Amino acid sequence: MKRYFFNLLISFLPSTRFFIFKQKVFRFLCGSIGENTCINQGVKIFGNSRISIGRNSWIGINCIISSSNPGYVEIGKNCDIAPNVMIINGTHEIGDNNRRAGEGKSLNIKIGDGVWIGASSTIHGGAVIGNGSIIASGSVVMKGSFPENVILGGIPAKVIRKFNN
């Protein structure tokens, strides 16, 4: 119920204002959040498990973060998340032909420090994104561990470039 109140409140606040107030409300209703982290208008928080956002991060307009038990979503410090990104740790086992979405489950998501996630990307449960990486706009990151300092792109996302530093 707390997260629904957060979603309602955040929809009325100006996008690029009241960041300190939004941090305090997030901390009280949703999870842990570091100093100087900016949450923009239209961000939606769903689920009932741990969400952690590091300091100096930016959560863009209309992002969705959904974290179901027993999993969690952890976003590192100095991250930039563009508008319309979905971070969702819930999924299903594959069911039989009567209903393909079988038993529900949740997988942890860990986004490393300094990660930049491009607009309209989707991060699924089980993804571990290394520090300093970039997710190209529109990419779909499935479960798996991805190295530091790379650009991931595509559907499903794969390493398309490595950085030297």
DSSP 8-state secondary structure symbol assigned to residue 119: T
Distance CA(155)–CA(142), nearest Å, equals 9
Q: Is cis: bond before 156, omega within 30 of 0?
A: yes
124 is catalytic: no
109: closest CA among 135, 153, 141?
A: 141
Count of beta carbons in the 10 Å neighbourhood of residue 16: 10
Containing H/E element for 26? helix 19-29
Of 24, 92, 161, 162, the active-site residue reads 92
Which strands form 44-47's sheet, in the order they lie side by side? 44-47, 64-67, 86-88, 122-124, 140-141
Angle (CA) 115 121 127, round 5° = 60
Write out the two tokens for 11: 């929809």
**Catalytic residue numbers, as ranges:** 92
